[in-house]
Structure 1
Amino acid sequence: MDLAAPLYWGQLVSTGLLALALGLDALSLGLGIGMRGIRKLDVLKISVVTALFHMVMPLAGMWTGGYLSVLLGKVATVGGGLLLVLLGAHMVYSALQSNETRGHNHRNFWGLMLFAFSVSIDSFSVGVSLGMFAGDVMMTVLMFGAAGGLMSIAGLLLGRRVGEWTGEYGEALGGVILLAFGIHFLF
């Protein structure tokens, strides 16, 4: 793909914003875990697994979305936009609904898997939507993984250093960004 093409830069910016929006879950949950105290080795382990989940989940979603796109055609574009709107609205609602810090036992295998899955499940849904549109799969998956992993590190380390300050508003911001993209795809 031509790196000077406006379409490439538009996709790069859009994908980057989506990756950041989806990584805000990892940031906010990482803040909660970090505030309870965490070893640096656990920070690395959680962040690597989160980055992998943020790559695998949207990739699986894109394959699903690509298949649905072939089956449904133009209806798939509207469906993808609606899915983003619903996912964004749900993220905003759930962020504003709870005031307590959500936490998982990150020290055992299943706790680690639950954490990574819980912050990556929305990446699958967004992947379904993105799979319905043409785009650079490798760039998307790498950006989602990098954002998820880096935001996980940031949340865990920040939570480790800072006391109780809310991370759930990060999830709400991510939801607003997804809502905006969904509305864009609908119109």
Structure 2
Amino acid sequence: MSPFSILLIGLAMSTDAFAAAIGKGVAMGRPRLSDALRTGLIFGVIEAITPILGWLLGKAAAVYVQAWDHWIAFALLLGLGLHMIANGLGKEDAEPDAAAAGNGNARSFWLLALTGLATSIDAAAIGVGLAFLEVHIGIVALVIGLCTFVMVTIGVLLGSKLGEMAGKRAEVLGGIVLIVIGAGILYEHLGHAPLAG
């Protein structure tokens, strides 16, 4: 997998967290930089850990599904992409409200952590799919974590100005990117072309 594809995955994985961060920024009114950085760090760390857990799970099963590995990766990316597009086009859910609860206390930390975990489930599924490909999961996890940190920090700071629709549109775009990457993986496999590495 090429570095550009890894970067695209990192950006796509950060869009749902970005949408949640915009919701938090909207609720906070005028968020401080320290609040934005703290939120970005929590989301980024969680988003970096979950694909590694998914990758470990996928590796455990890889020996049983080697003949279908590219189809599995494609199906996961397609399903996640469609799910993100549906979320982006659907009604606003309660997720931003959970992320927008109080600041600077233990309750706020755990609410942010739970929101970060909820938005990182797709990253775990990505990890499962990547277990069937020739890719260094540590690099992918780091890129996903850094992209999420940056996107969430920006989302919190700009939330009151961008509004919730910007976050939803980003999630739709992220879903489209995942589908395109999945189609590319399947095309390389069916065309007997070597994977970019």
Aligned partners of 2:22 and 2:162 also within 8 Å = no
Q: Report the RMSD for the aligned CA atoms in angstroms.
A: 1.8
| 1:106-152 deviation line (CA, Å, top 9, x unaligned) | 43233111221122111111111111111122211110110011100
Structure 1 spans left out of the alignment, 5+ residues: 1-9
Tell me which amino acid in the other structure corresponds to 1:74.
A
Query: 1:14 is matched with which residue?
Result: 5
Distance, in Å, in 1 between the alignment partners of 2:76 and 2:180 is 12
Mapping 1:151-166, distance limit 5 Å: 151-160=151-160, 162=161, 164=163, 166=165
Q: List per-residue Cα deviations over 1:80-126 (Å, max 9, x = no partner).
A: 11111011011101110115684114432331112211221111111
> What is the SS of the residue equivalent to 1:90?
helix
1:47 Cα offset (Å): 0.9
Length-normalised TM-score, structure 2:
0.83
What TM-score does the superposition give when structure 1 sets the normalisation length? 0.87
The answer to whether the Cα contact below 8 Å between 1:57 and 1:120 also exists between their aligned partners in 2 is: yes
Kindly state the Cα deviation for residue 76 of structure 1 after the two structures are TM-superposed.
Answer: 2.3
Aligned-residue sequence identity (percent) comes to 27
Aligned counterparts of 1:43 and 1:29: Cα–Cα separation in 2: 12
Name stretches of at least 5 consecutive residues in structure 2 with no aligned partner. Answer: 103-107, 188-197
Any idea what SS the aligned residue of 1:71 has?
coil
CA contact (8 A) 1:68 1:76 kept: no
The partner residue of 1:49 within 34, 42, 52 is: 42
Residues 100, 122 of structure 1: CA spacing in aligned structure 2 closer, same or farther, 3 A cutoff?
closer
Question: Number of paired residues?
Answer: 177
> Contact 1:46–1:106 (CA<8 Å) still a contact in 2?
no
